[in-house]
Structure 1
Amino acid sequence: MRDIGVPHPRLPLPPQGGEDDPGEFLAWLGEAIPLVRQLGIREMRREGDRLGWELALTPNLNDKGTGFGGSLAAQTTLLGWCWATLWLRRRGLARDVVVAEATQRFLAPVTGDYCLECLPEAEEGPERLAARLDEKGRGRIALVQRLWCGETLCLEARGDYAVLAERA
C-alpha cells in the first residue's frame, strides 16, 4: 500500500518513437491508481488519434441494474488522462497530466458491456498542444469521450486536460 502524498513511480518511456504496450500500460495504471483494477477494463486500443477501452458492465452496476453514473464519469475522466499521458509518452515526454475541467451528459442507460472512446475535440488540438509545450513548457487540450453500448450512444463527456511544466 502506498502512502498518501507519495507519487507512484512513472512507467519508463517507450523506445524513441515507440508506442506503449497496452497491457503493460494498463497493468502499471492499476498499480498507480488502485481504483482502475475495479473498473472492468478488458482491452485498450489506439486507432490514429482515437483511444478506446472495452469494458464490462458488471463491476459498474448501479441499484437499477444499469451503469452507475459515478463509475462511468470516472472512466471518461480517466480515459482522457490516459489519452494525454500516452500522447506525451509517444513524444518521449514524461510529464504530469491533470484534469482541469470535466462534464458529462448521460443520454441513455448502459445495459450491457460497452466501449468508451476518447479523441481530441478539435482536429488541430494535438498540434496546438505541441506548440504550446514547445513555447511555454505546459499546455492544455480539450478531449471528448463517448460511451457506446452496442449502437446506442449512452454518454458524451468533455474534459480539459492540463500538461504541467516539467518537475524540477
Structure 2
Amino acid sequence: MTADEITAYVHEHIPITRSLGVRVEHYDGQSVRLAALLRPNLNHRATAFGGSLSSVAILSGWVLLHLQLREHGIANRLVIQRSALDFEAPVDGDFTAACTLPPAPAWSRFLSTLARHSSARVTVTSTLECASGVGGRHLGTYVAVRS
C-alpha cells in the first residue's frame, strides 16, 4: 500500500484522524511516520494540545502494527492496552509521530505467541517531533486478538 492508500484507510476506519489533520508520510515495512497539522490541534498556548499529541502517537503504533500483521496474513483486532507519553517540549508547529518495530527477538516472540494463542501483546515506541525538535516520546502496548 502507498502512503496515500494507508491514509485513506485510516481516515475511513478512524474518522477522527481527518479532524486531526493526520496523514501517513512514510511506511517502509519497519517503520511509519505520520504527519499532522498544528492548526486543528492547537491549545490555548498556540502549541499542540496534549490529547492530540497522544492520539497521533498512539495512531503511529497502531498503523505500523496493523500493516505488519496484515502483511503477515494475520486477521486480528488490534487495540491499545497501555499508553504513556512523556512531554519533553512544546510542539509549536506541524508535527510528526514516527514509530519503529521492536527489536527482532521481541517481534518474533509476539508473532509466535499470537500463532499459538488467541492474543498477544507488544510494546512499541514513537517519537513526536516538529521543526523545533523532539516534543515527546510515547510508549504503547498493543494487544492483537486473532479473528
- Please confirm whether the aligned pair reaches a TM-score higher than 0.5, indicating the same fold: yes
> Relative to structure 1, is the Cα distance of residues 81 and 47 closer, same or farther in structure 2, using a 3 angstrom cutoff?
same
In terms of fraction of residues, the more strand-rich structure is 2
Aligned to 1:72: 53
Report the number of matched residues.
Answer: 147
1:148 partnered with 2:133 = no
3-state SS, counterpart of residue 143 of structure 1:
strand
Unaligned runs of 5+ residues in structure 1 are 1-19
Unaligned runs of 5+ residues in structure 2 are none
Displacement over 6 Å in runs of 4+: none
CA contact (8 A) 2:24 2:32 kept: no
Larger deviation, residues 140-149 vs 48-57: 48-57
3-state SS, counterpart of residue 163 of structure 1:
strand
Aligned to 1:26: 7
Report which of the two structures shows the higher radius of gyration computed on alpha carbons. Answer: 1
Q: How many angstroms apart in 2 are the aligned matches of 1:80 and 1:50?
A: 9
CA contact (8 A) 2:7 2:23 kept: no
3-state SS, counterpart of residue 96 of structure 1:
strand
Question: Which residue type is aligned with residue 54 of structure 1?
Answer: A
RMSD after superposition: 1.6
1:128 partnered with 2:109 = yes
